Amino acid sequence: MKRILIGLFVAAVLAAGGWFGFNLYAKHQATAEIEAAFEQIRASGGKASHGKIGFDLMSRTLTIEDIAVVPGNEPQAQIKIAGIKGTGVRQIDETRFSADGIDITGLEVALDRIGPAKLKASYKVPQLTMRDYAGPIRSGETPVSGSLADVYRYVLGQYASITATSLTAPTLTMDFDSGSAAGGSGELTYSGLTMQNLKHGKVDAMKADRAAISIDVKQPGRADKLTGELSNIIVNDFDATAIIAALDPKTSSDETYHRVYRQILAGPYALKSSQGMRIDIDGFVMEDIDVQPSKFRLAERFDALPQDQSAVPTPAQSREMLEKIAGIYEGVRIGKAEVSKISIGTPQGTGKVNTIRYRESEFAIEGVDTPAPQGQFKMERFALKSFSAAHLMRWGAGLSNPGEAPSPDQMLGLFRVFAGAEIKGVVSPFKNTRQFVTIDTISLDWGQLIGSIPSKANLVVKMVTPTDPTSPSQRALVIAGIDKLAIDLDLGAAWTESSGAFALAPATIDLGNLARAQARFALSNVPRAVFTADPVQAMSGARQIEAGAIELTLRDSGVVDLIVAQFSRIQNVSRDAARSAIVEMIKAQGEKFAASNLDAKAAADALADFVATSGQTLTIKLTPLGKVPLVQLMDALNHEPVLALAQFRIEASTGL
């Protein structure tokens, strides 16, 4: 029995010795791997140190205390970690390891003089927890250059090399300081940070319950403090590999689109200024954000940033910068962006906007209700069609010569920024009166650009405006008791290059309480050369243009009575006498035309008949009798109208 007990005791001692020996060996191996990783940082010119290392083989728990790292490259950075605890740690192969969980405490990252702005920033994460982690034992080679693009590519590359089922941090605080009188400083604190399913640079979902903002704005002669809060920040389907591709010079020819975000949601959001302004936003959403590496080219954009932010850029530098920004916009595709229920409060009142939206290249503002100096302004919708931020940047680059008026060609470049605009449902105070201008629709579209000039356009206007008693041109309307003008305009024009034809059709204006007029006319032999901002070239091309058929229709809804009443007041006669006098004057003028142009006399007779009876429709058609050069026609109309009309067959008629 004693021999058995002694044997068991010896076996227990040998087992314990073997266990502790293997535990010490495992700890030694873990320590050696950690030292090798830190030595890699030192070898690249940085500094790296750590405190106590512990390893428990039974639970496979690895602990490291008091980590401090200073990379050897620009921008200057300092990383401190109070402690790392990994449980269930296993080595997958020679380059990677896994852990059931990793807890990091006291993480601090300080960045000094980063980027051209020489910004100082720090990040603090008191507690960070990762579950089901797998990643490299040692980090990759740090970038030798101080290029901002290389640094971002390195950081994102490290991020893309790890996997984890979740990452949580109760808080993350970022402090920044521009260090200049014209900049600012502040703090941004996130609460309730979580990430789900990190794998190969992709994240299924990221969320922050809250972000608190505090910014001290430094401006010459005017300091301000901004405080705010943003809640429910959610990111679905983030892919860092798309940004890595855009930062890699090797992918500069990649013209395919890579999705970075499927969806970003946030809100509500509130921001207050010490100057008395407050902004409240109910929600924000962006969907399907893609980048095209061949155009996005972030590395080139970073390299183009001015190194001295305090220096005022020259016009050439401003143009170059705007061109680089345009390239960034050109390489980004956004499926949808929308900000909803915006409220802007100022000491003068509160303005509200229901929605600001960008979708399918249309930028729109909807549901505006805001105070104006003369009263409340309301607008149902304002939209820019086929809007291009890249073209806007390039257009702005062409206007970046201070003190120099832009040329006509530069101003015409605005037609490339968007392809149309629309305003709907406007109610606006009219001057200092209690009346309102109401706009049902103003819609302007253009296209078929030749250079920067449209060869096709359409304008629609439907609105009601009060008459202005202070305007001499509207005094007759006011005296006649017309206090409003209802305007209904439809104007379309297009040029066809294959035939050289230019047509204005339809061109309709309806002044509801006065008249409705419609015009159609055509031009032939219109050369491409006339679509230019060069007046000499345009005039040279205009000499080839020939006038075509012209048709004018006028429907009387009160304009004849208005003219008669005005003539009656001026001549101090009755309205019947005034009407008869006008009719006789028109007929007398027609008699003068009779000798040279019977058609002109017929047109004058039709006009006299139109005035004689209210409520009629007058139609006049002019058909060229041969080739009628437009330039010569315009000159003849200014000096010899009768001879100009003699080049046309004139048909005129009236009817109720």
336-348 residue pLDDT tens: 999 999 999 887 7
Structure confidence at residue 248 (pLDDT): 73
pTM: 0.81
In this predicted structure, the answer to whether residue 609 has a pLDDT above a threshold of 90 is yes
Q: How confident is the model at residue 311 (pLDDT cuts 50, 70, 90)?
A: low
* pLDDT above 60 (res 137): yes
| pLDDT greater than 60 at residue 9 | no
Is the pLDDT at 3 greater than 50, yes or no?
no
The answer, yes or no, to whether residue 17 has pLDDT greater than 90, is: no
| 117 pLDDT more than 70 | no
**H/E stretch holding 642:** helix 641-645
HSE-up of residue 645 (Cα within 13 Å, Cβ side): 19
Radius of gyration over every alpha carbon of the chain, rounded to an integer in angstroms? 38
pLDDT at 204 over 80: yes
Higher pLDDT, 292 or 137: 292
DSSP secondary structure string for all residues of 62-114 = EEEEEEEEE-SSSSEEEEEEEEEEEES-EE-SSSEEEEEEEEEEEEEEEEEEE
The pLDDT value recorded for residue 309 is: 54
| CA–CA gap between residue 162 and residue 96 (Å, rounded) | 9
For residue 333, is pLDDT > 50? yes
Give 505's pLDDT tier (boundaries 50, 70, 90).
confident
Does residue 22 carry a pLDDT above 50?
A: no
Q: What is the pLDDT of residues 30-46, one digit of tens each?
A: 677 677 777 777 777 77
Mean pLDDT, rounded, for 360-379? 91
- Paired tokens of 611: 């005035």
Chain-centre distance of CA 536, in angstroms? 37
- Could you count the other beta carbons within 10 Å of the beta carbon of residue 89? 21
Bigger pLDDT: 299 or 95?
Answer: 95
Which sign does the torsion angle of CA 388, 390, 395, 400 carry?
Answer: positive
Higher pLDDT, residue 191 or 590: 191
Better pLDDT: 114 or 604:
604
Assigned token pair, 531: 């679509």
CB 89 within 8 A of CB 60: yes
pLDDT in tens, 424-461: 999 999 887 778 999 999 999 999 999 889 999 999 99
Report the amino acid identity of residue 375: G
The more confident residue out of 484 and 137 is 484
Long-range (24+ apart) CB contacts under 8 A made by 581-586 are 582/611, 583/608, 583/611, 583/612, 586/611
For the chain, the average pLDDT equals: 83
- Better-predicted residue by pLDDT, 322 or 541: 541
Task: For residue 496, give the H/E element and its range.
Answer: strand 484-496
What integer pLDDT is reported at residue 285 of this predicted model? 96
Between 410 and 99, where is the model more confident?
99
Higher pLDDT, 148 or 241: 241
Average pLDDT, stretch 291-308?
66
Q: How far is 649 from 652, CA to CA, in rounded Å?
A: 10
pLDDT of residue 85: 92
Q: How far apart are CA 281 and CA 343, in angstroms?
A: 6
pLDDT of residue 139: 65
Q: Is the pLDDT of residue 16 over 50?
A: no
Q: What is the reported pLDDT for 157?
A: 75
Q: What is the mean pLDDT of residues 150-176?
A: 84
Q: Please report which confidence band the pLDDT of residue 148 belongs to, taking 50, 70 and 90 as the band edges.
A: low
Q: What is residue 2's predicted lDDT score, i.e. its pLDDT?
A: 39
Contacts of residue 104, Cβ cutoff 8 Å, sequence gap at least 6: 81, 83, 84, 85, 125, 127, 128, 129, 130
Most confident of 26-30, 247-251, 351-355: 351-355
Give the pLDDT band (50/70/90) at residue 312.
Answer: low
Position 18 pLDDT exceeds 80: no
Confidence of residue 140 (pLDDT cuts 50, 70, 90): low
Q: Taking residues 286-301, what's their average pLDDT?
A: 80
Q: Return the half-sphere exposure (C-beta side, CA atoms, 13 A cut-off) of residue 48.
A: 15
In this prediction, residues 11-23 reach a mean pLDDT of 37
Q: What was the pLDDT predicted at 180?
A: 60
pLDDT tens digits, 208-237? 999 999 988 876 667 788 999 999 999 999
3-state SS class at 587:
helix
Answer yes or no: is pLDDT of 305 > 60. no
Quick check: bond before 268 cis, omega within 30? yes
Least confident of 157-166, 202-211, 245-254, 410-419: 245-254
Q: Which of 481, 465, 641 is nearest to 566 (CA)?
A: 481
Share of the chain above pLDDT 90, in %: 40
Q: Which residue has the higher pLDDT, 180 or 111?
A: 111
